[in-house]
Amino acid sequence: MNDSHLELGDAAHCNTLADATALVRSSPGRSSARRSGVIAGMVIAATRQAEVTAAGPQYREHALNVLDALSRAKAELDTAASHDPELARLTAAILFAAQAYAWEATIPCTEWPLPCEVADAAIREARRIIAGS
């Protein structure tokens, strides 16, 4: 996982999901700050959850925990953004990219992605979104 090269603008100072949520909530009328806040929040959620399991054995539930963390982050960030459709599309795209990767990388009962790989899928989508800005 390498989120250090993301250009997050106003959200560059965010270190936690709470920081990103606060930025989104406190920036009405500042679409670029809100946009960078939701992207940062999703990346932080995926990265932090993957880091929790990095030292131990890697089971399928650990990869699913990254998706769960992204789902919770999406709900928090969408709520903070008053369910702004543009921002909800961003959180949905990042969550979906991670979900699709996890689904495609799983062979039932035998193989599943590592938590860091699921987080990387979210980060790749965040990069794609930023590049398209």
Q: pLDDT of 45-58, one tens digit each? A: 999 999 998 877 77
> 9-131 has which CATH code?
1.20.120
Count the residues in the chain: 133
- What does each C-alpha distance from 46 to 14, 57, 72, 73, 108 come to in angstroms? 14, 18, 10, 9, 23
- The pLDDT of residue 114 is 93
- The pLDDT of residue 5 is 58
Please list the rounded mean pLDDT of every run of 10 residues in the chain (133 residues): 67 96 95 96 97 83 95 98 97 98 91 95 96 83
Output the pTM of the full model.
Answer: 0.92
| Six token digits for residue 128 | 């794609």
Query: What are the extents of the domains in the chain?
Result: 9-131
| Six token digits for residue 41 | 């929040």
